[in-house]
Amino acid sequence: MKYYILFGPPGAGKGTHASAIAKKYNLKHISTGELLRAEIAAGSELGKQAKALIDAGSLVPDTVVEGMIESAFDTIKGVDGFLLDGFPRNLQQAADLDKMLAGRGESLKAVISIMISDDAIRRRIAHRAAIEGRADDANDATITNRIKTYHAQTEPLIDYYKAQGKYFECDGDNGTLEDNQARVLALVESIG
């Protein structure tokens, strides 16, 4: 199995590019955001707790997210690997993922990072909120909090994965969607 992380700030296009990567390389795209939104839509207790946190611009506890990820690894068959989107979000989750994979006799293949500016984050999240009707993306204070949280908690993962030689970055800020997708796919192809 190959395990990849799709990395970048909110609005970088991770979800958009993930489907193309997953299709081309027979990977299962695991979006923690989609897993959580499914729980919210189902009205489960986890969904209710997650909704309150997400609406406030906060993150769902690590143990909940990690349990969902491990369950997906255990139950999804017929793929050549997994593409994680939205996980890990902090250094503790990264260490936990390393342990989770080691326990399976596996390790992370690569981190594919799509980088965009803070201004682009704001534009894209506001655009996404208008198109998809996502209330968690519509509030400016929530967007500001998500950007701050990304810089404070998630951005340190860059050095963590660079130290492992598993961090690969491409520009997701310039050109058309097709240009950006071509760059992302070329990067994955170069990694193998």
What is the average pLDDT score of the chain?
A: 88
Tens-digit pLDDT profile for residues 81-109 = 999 998 998 899 999 999 999 999 999 99
Reading the block at residue 130, the tokens are 């208008």
Tens-digit pLDDT profile for residues 125-154 = 887 777 877 666 667 888 888 889 888 988
pLDDT at position 46: 74
pLDDT at 192 over 80: no
pLDDT at position 137: 66
pLDDT at position 136: 63
The reported pTM is 0.83
Question: Domains of the chain (ranges plus CATH)?
Answer: 2-191 (3.40.50.300)
Q: Which of 76-85, 113-122, 129-138 has the highest mean pLDDT?
A: 76-85
Q: What is the 3-state secondary structure (H, E, C) of 69-92?
A: HHHHHHHCCCCCEEEEECCCCCHH
The packing angle between helices 32-42 and 45-55, to 10°, is 120
C-alpha 37: how far from chain center? 14
pLDDT at 54 over 80: no
pLDDT at position 51: 84
Radius of gyration of the chain (CA): 16
pLDDT at position 135: 66
Tens-digit pLDDT profile for residues 150-185 = 889 889 999 999 999 999 999 998 888 899 999 999
Helix (H) or strand (E) holding 3: strand 2-7
**93, 61, 91: which is closest to 152 by C-alpha?**
91
Q: Report whether the peptide linkage leading into residue 61 is cis, meaning its omega lies within 30 degrees of zero.
A: no
